[in-house]
Amino acid sequence: MSDTGYYGRPVLKRPVWKWYVPAYFFTGGLAGASSTLALGAAITGNRPLARAARLASAGGMAASFPLLVVDLGRPARFANMLRVAKPTSPMSVGSWLLAAFGPASVAAAAGDLTGRLPRVAAFAGAAAGALGPAMTTYTGVLVADTAIPAWHGAYRELPLLFAGSAAASAGGVAMAATPVEAAGPARRLAALGAVMELGAARAMESRVGGPYATGRAGGLARAAAACTVAGAALTLVARRRRGAAVGAGGLLAAGSVLTRFSVFRAGFESADDPGATIGPQRLRRR
C-alpha cells in the first residue's frame, strides 16, 4: 500500500467530536488555571485578584458543564463515567477530576461573593487551586491518547500547549478584571503562559508538521500565535493602563480559543490524509 492509502481513501475515520469539544477544552483550562491563580492570590493576601480569579474559574466551569453534557448527549452519562475509576484511562481520570474540581471551584466563588461559610470556601478554594494544573493538562493527554495522527504524534507537546494556553487566558482574564495595582501576578502568569504556549506550538509544528502548518488548521494556528504575541506585548503596557489590560486579556483569550480549535481541526485534516497515518508507520519500521 502506498502513502496515498487504498485507492486514495482515508485509513482512519474522522473524529466524531463537534465544536463544543474544543470549546470545553478552553473553558475547562481557563477554570483550572484561574483557580490556581486565585489560590496564590489568596495566600499572598491579594483579595481583589483572588476574587476575580475565583469568579473566572467558576464562570469557566459554568460554561464547561453544558458543553460536556451536549457532547455526552444527556447528563446521566457523566454519572455513569464515575461508576469505575481507571488510572490508566485519561477519560476516567478526567471524569473524576472534573467531579472534584467543579464543585470546589463553584463553592469557592460562592463563598467569596456571599461571605458565608468562610472556612468551607477557603478549603474549597485550596482544593480547586491544587487540582487546577491537572485541569489544564488532562485534555491534552486525552486528545493524544487516540489513533488520530496529528494528535497522537504531538503527545509530548499537547499537555504543555494546553497548560500554557490556559495560563495565558487565565492571566489575561484576571488582568482585565482586576485593578491595575493588584494585577501584577496575573500579568506575569499571562506572559509566562504566552511564552509557554508559543514555544510548545513551535515545537509541535517542527516535530509533527503537516496539518499544524498547512490548511485550515495551519491558518487557525497562525491566527492564534498572532493574538497571543499581540496580547503578550500589550501586557507590558497594562501595568499602567486599565484599557490596555482589557485589550491584552481579550487577545490572550482569543489566542487560547484559536489554539484549541487549530488542534481540533488538525485532527480532522490528518484523519482525511492517508499519508499522515502510513508515512509515520513506515518511518518507525526503518
* pLDDT tens per residue, range 161-217: 999 999 999 999 999 999 999 999 999 999 999 999 999 999 998 888 778 888 899
Query: Looking at residue 282, what is its pLDDT?
Result: 47
Number of neighbouring beta carbons within 10 Å of residue 149 = 27
The domains of the chain, with CATH numbers, are 20-285 (1.20.1630.10)
pTM for this predicted structure: 0.88
What are the residues facing 2 on neighbouring strands? Answer: 5
Query: Looking at residue 147, what is its pLDDT?
Result: 81
Number of neighbouring beta carbons within 10 Å of residue 76 = 9
**Residue found by looking up cell 481540533 in the block:** 264
Query: Looking at residue 53, what is its pLDDT?
Result: 97
Distance, CA of 134 to CA of 94 (rounded, Å): 9
* pLDDT tens per residue, range 119-160: 999 999 999 999 999 999 999 999 998 888 889 889 999 999
Distance, CA of 129 to CA of 140 (rounded, Å): 19
Query: Looking at residue 106, what is its pLDDT?
Result: 95
* pLDDT tens per residue, range 68-107: 888 776 666 666 777 777 777 877 887 888 889 999 999 9
266 is written with which cell numbers? Answer: 488538525
Q: Cβ neighbours of residue 269 under 8 Å, at least 6 residues apart?
A: 150, 211, 215, 216, 217
* 45, pLDDT greater than 70: yes
* 5, pLDDT greater than 80: no
24 is written with which cell numbers? Answer: 470545553
* pLDDT tens per residue, range 224-271: 999 999 999 999 887 878 889 999 999 999 999 999 999 999 998 888
